[in-house]
Amino acid sequence: MAERESSGGSSPWVAFLAGIILVAVVAFGVVAYTGGLQQRDTAQLELNVPDVNVNPPDINLPDPPPAPTTPPTAEAPVETPSN
């Protein structure tokens, strides 16, 4: 059988890069053909709203609950109820 000699040159890389360039050119052509490169008009919106000054409502909040106290520790003397 005859053996093929592989030169290990750059021809696969050249073909790969040529394929990428070909795909990029085709994609650019499709975008240009469909009008993707044209300037688009944008809508402008104008709102005419009168200036209204609304005072914030007066809210009477309840007093906060008392702050929690720490429980007695083992070092603190324990209060005994007096009878």
Report the predicted TM-score, pTM, of the whole model to 2 decimal places.
0.38
Per the model's pLDDT, the better-predicted residue between 38 and 59 turns out to be: 59
DSSP 71: P
Q: 37: which residues sit within 8 A by CB, 6+ positions away?
A: 31
**Residue 7, pLDDT score:** 58
3-state helix, strand, coil in the chain (%, to 5): 30, 0, 70
Does the CA dihedral 49-52-56-58 come out positive or negative? Answer: negative
Q: How confident is the model at residue 48 (pLDDT cuts 50, 70, 90)?
A: confident
CB 40 within 8 A of CB 46: no
Q: Which single residue is written with the structure tokens 């993707």?
A: 36
Residue 20 pLDDT exceeds 70:
yes
CB 19 within 8 A of CB 27: no
Report the pLDDT averaged over residues 37-65.
Answer: 85
